[in-house]
Every structure is written in structure tokens, then in C-alpha cells.
Amino acid sequence: MAEVICLCNEVLDIDLREYLDSHPIGSIEELREQAAICNKCMQCQELVESEIYFARVRRQQLEGER
């Protein structure tokens, strides 16, 4: 079941993961610049940063498998 990561913008964890897997975002600042997902409320910063990290790890694993 999907969980809400950011209440301010109603961002679901599944949607965020999908976005991060298809866009090489390296930081929450990049996410703010490139997507209308974050408005700097900072309530979800830790969760979003962990999702960014895990997306980076997934991308690196995929590159290593090639």
C-alpha cells in the first residue's frame, strides 16, 4: 500500500520512487529545482533524502549488472 511522504504536496512514496528511478536526482535541492514535488516545507526531508539515496543505489546496481 502506498504511503504519503509529503502531506503538503500529497506525494506518495510509490510516485516519488518512480520519479527518482527515471530521473538521476542526486539531492533534495536538485529535486526542488527539477520537479514541483517539493516546496521546502522540510517536514519530509529525511524521508525524501533516503529515497534519493536508495534510488542512487538502485541505479548503480543496474549499471553494475550491465
> Which helix or strand (DSSP H or E) is residue 26 part of?
none
User: For residues 1 and 54, which has the higher predicted lDDT (pLDDT)?
Assistant: 54
pLDDT of residue 23: 93
Segment 19-43, tens digit of pLDDT: 999 999 999 889 888 887 777 777 8
Tens of pLDDT, residue by residue over 37-64, are 777 777 888 888 999 999 999 999 988 8
**CA atoms within 13 Å, Cβ hemisphere of 35:** 20
C-alpha cell at 26: 542526486
The CA distance from 15 to 53, in Å, is 16
Q: What is the pLDDT of residue 56?
A: 95
For the entire predicted model, the pTM comes to 0.82
* CATH entry, 4-65, from 1.10.3720.10, 3.40.50.1370, 1.10.10.1100, 3.40.50.150: 1.10.10.1100
